[in-house]
Amino acid sequence: MQNPSSLPHYDRLQTYQWNYEHAPDPVELEIPDVPGDWTFCGLPVPSPLGIPAGPLLNGKWVRYYASLGFDVLTYKTVRSTARECYPLPNLQPVTASSMTGQESQVTLTDQMQGSWAVSFGMPSAAPETWREDIAQTRRLLPAEKILSVSVVGSLQPGWSLDDLANDYALCARWALESGADCIETNFSCPNVCTRDGQLYQQPEAAALVASRVRAAIGETPYLIKIGHLTQENAARTFLEAVTPYASGIVMTNSVATTVTDADGTLLFNGEQRGICGFATREASLHQLQLFRRLLSELPQDSSQTQLISCGGISSVQDVRQFLEAGAQATHLATAAMCDPLIACQIRAELAKEPL
């Protein structure tokens, strides 16, 4: 099998725009089959292995990771208006152990150790660009691959919650018209402090947006991406609010905290940043277990909402554990950023010892 160090992946030392413009070409690899009858929000899929929106900046990035063995591909969050990325650094390696959400800070490091602070701010190409790109991507992707498109509302001065909900719905409809198989609304961005980045902490607002999106996309599978929720009451209230509309919940986006340099100086103007990677694995697993239990306690219709896990999943053992804990699929963002061949490697192990 090809050496992962020889395969391209997001270059954290370059700008977001540079990475957008330098997407790698798909590769030719022998992709092992994963035994079993797999579905994703009711759609047939060759495996439960997916990748969340983070690394898939455009259609060419989507097709590249599809060629590496990922079957659920999530197109990075798009908006109804163009939005620039935050300045560098956008991916800052950090030293962090297993996080719980109570950490006051983590410390940067020069070398990637498997965990990093994310600081993008949900950038987006203009709608005419991403709509055309999504349409082309769906045409070029193998039919069995699932293309999920992440969308977010773009809060404007003077807007009401109703305006924001309509903007989410507009983006969702555009993505569906362009060929998306699933729609994902991003209700969690730890680097955006306005309402559009924190909806998962506002159940009533989340329900309004979710209902508007559901009306816009009909029966199309609809997922909601959320952040780190640990309090049982808050988690239950959120689920009660959104499960009438959502096919699935994608978690955990990241665990937020501040970042310092080796001397203790705060980075990013002292604002929190989402920490992703190996350090979030246990937090993600605990949240999955909590949500699985809470869903089982809801009325039958709501309890059918599926859970999609991401956060620190990097091995076949992790995949098994998260699926056994109640995940319908596992998103391998952490591993994919460090080792693009991770899906192919996990598939090879699952072919020998099926789930």
Position 113 confidence tier, pLDDT thresholds 50, 70, 90? confident
Residue 157 lies in a domain: yes
Residue 31 lies in a domain: no
Residue 88 lies in a domain: yes
Query: pLDDT digits over 42-91, tens only?
Result: 999 999 999 998 889 999 999 999 999 999 999 999 999 999 999 999 99
pLDDT at 32 over 80: yes
Q: What is the pLDDT of residue 345?
A: 93
Asked whether the whole model's pTM tops 0.75, one would answer yes
Residue 263 lies in a domain: no
The Cα–Cα gap between 72 and 319 comes to 15
Q: What is the pLDDT of residue 336?
A: 78
Which CATH number characterizes residue 164's domain? Answer: 3.20.20.70
pLDDT at 6 over 80: no
Residue 23 lies in a domain: no
| Residue that is written with structure tokens 């080792």 in the block | 339
Residue 307 lies in a domain: yes
pLDDT at 195 over 90: no
Query: pLDDT digits over 240-287, tens only?
Result: 999 999 999 998 889 999 999 999 999 999 999 999 999 999 999 999
Q: What is the pLDDT of residue 97?
A: 86
Residue 343 lies in a domain: yes
Q: Which domain holds residue 158?
A: 40-92+110-255+273-352
Residue 212 lies in a domain: yes
Residues with Cβ within 8 Å of 293's Cβ and at least 6 positions away in sequence, in order, are none
Task: Provide, rounded to the nearest whole percent, the portion of the chain with pLDDT above 90.
Answer: 82
CB atoms within 10 A of CB 44: 10
The Cα–Cα gap between 232 and 254 comes to 18
Phi-psi region for residue 148, left (φ > 0), alpha (ψ -120 to 50) or beta?
Answer: beta
Query: How many domains does one find in the chain?
Result: 1
Q: Regarding predicted confidence, which is higher, 306 or 3?
A: 306
pLDDT at 158 over 90: yes
The Cα–Cα gap between 63 and 27 comes to 9
